[in-house]
Amino acid sequence: MTTHPAPHDEETANCHNCGAAVSYHYCALCGQETTLHVPSASEFIHEFVGHYIALEGKLWTTVRKLLLRPGFLSAEYIAGRRVRYVQPLRVYLTFSILFFFVLKLAGTPVGKVDEQAATGEPMVTIQQADPGTPELMILRAVPAPLQQKLKAFNARPAAEQSKLLGAAFFAYVPYAMFILMPLFAAYLKLLYAGSGRRYGEHLLFALHTNAFAFAMFSLILLASFLNVGLLDFALAVWLIVYLPLAMRRVYGGSRAKTFVRWAVLALLHLLSILAGIFASYAIAVMA
C-alpha cells in the first residue's frame, strides 16, 4: 500500500494544488497557502463558522464603517478599495443570521393569532356567497382544493395556528428577504435611471443598507429587552435617517430629490417585505 508523506510546516517551490511556481505564502494562480501543516481542531471550527459568518479581524472595521458612516462601504467598494473590508454578501448574511437569531431568542410573537379571530367556523364558500357581488368573483377564482386547505387551517385552534405561522416565518422569511435584494436593486435602478450606474452597483448598495437595517433591528430588540432608557428610540431614528444619507453619499443629488427617492424606495420595499411575509404564511397554510 502506498503511503503519502504528511504535510509539514515548510514552504515549497511549487503549489501542492495546481503545481504552479510560488515564491510567497500563497499561490498566485489558485490562492492556496504554500505553508502546509496538519490543521488543529480550532482551525477546523474557525473555518466552518467563518464559512457562514464573517469572523476575520477586518470584520470590526467593516462593522464600524457600516454602522457609523452611511454609504461609506458601498462607495469604497465601487472605488476599488475592497480587500480591507468584508465582502458585501458576507456582511449581509452575517447580520441577517444575527437578526433572526435575536428575534427568535427574544420570543417575538410573529404570526400570533388572536383567540377571537380563530373561530373555527367554516370559511365562506361559493354556495354561500351572494350572487352578483365582488366576493363571489374572488371566490370563483380560488381553486376548490385551496379553499379546503384554508378551511382546514381556519378550523385549527388559535395556538396551533400561531405555532404554524411562527415556524413558517423563521423557515421562509429569511430566504424571502434575501430574494428581495435584487428587487431592491431594481427599484434603485428605476429611481436613478439615467445616472449611468450599473445594476451591480445598486445590488451592492442594497446588500450594505439592508445589512445595516438588520444590525439596527437586532440592537433595537436588545435595547428594548434590556430596557436601556431611550436607546431603542435613538437607534430607530438613526435607522430612518441612515438610508437617505447613504443614498446621497453614493449617488449624489440634492436633498429634495434624495428625499423623494428615499420615500418611494422605502414604500416599495416595505410592500415587498409584507408580500414576502404573506407568501411565507401562505406556504404554511397550504402545507
Q: Which range in 35-49, 117-131, 166-180 is most confidently predicted, on average pLDDT?
A: 166-180
SS3 at position 278: helix
Main-chain phi, psi angles of 26, to 5 degrees: -135, 150
Sign of the four-CA dihedral 279, 281, 286, 287: positive
111 neighbors 162 (Cβ within 8 angstroms): yes
Chain segment 237-250, per-residue pLDDT in tens: 999 999 999 999 99
Quick one: cell of 78?
465601487
Quick one: cell of 273?
417585505
Main-chain phi, psi angles of 42, to 5 degrees: -65, -35
Chain segment 1-20, per-residue pLDDT in tens: 444 444 444 455 777 778 77
SS3 at position 25: coil
Of the pLDDT bands very low, low, confident and very high (cuts 50, 70, 90), residue 128 is: very low
Using DSSP, how many helices (H) and how many strands (E) does the chain show? 10, 0
Kindly report the pTM of this predicted structure. 0.74
The pLDDT of residue 50 is: 59
Task: Please give the Cα distance from 11 to 23 (Å, whole number).
Answer: 9
Task: Please give the Cα distance from 209 to 189 (Å, whole number).
Answer: 15
Which residue would you say has higher pLDDT here, 186 or 119?
A: 186
Does position 273 have pLDDT exceeding 70, yes or no?
A: yes
Chain segment 50-67, per-residue pLDDT in tens: 555 555 567 888 999 999
Task: Please give the Cα distance from 172 to 58 (Å, whole number).
Answer: 31
Main-chain phi, psi angles of 262, to 5 degrees: -60, -45
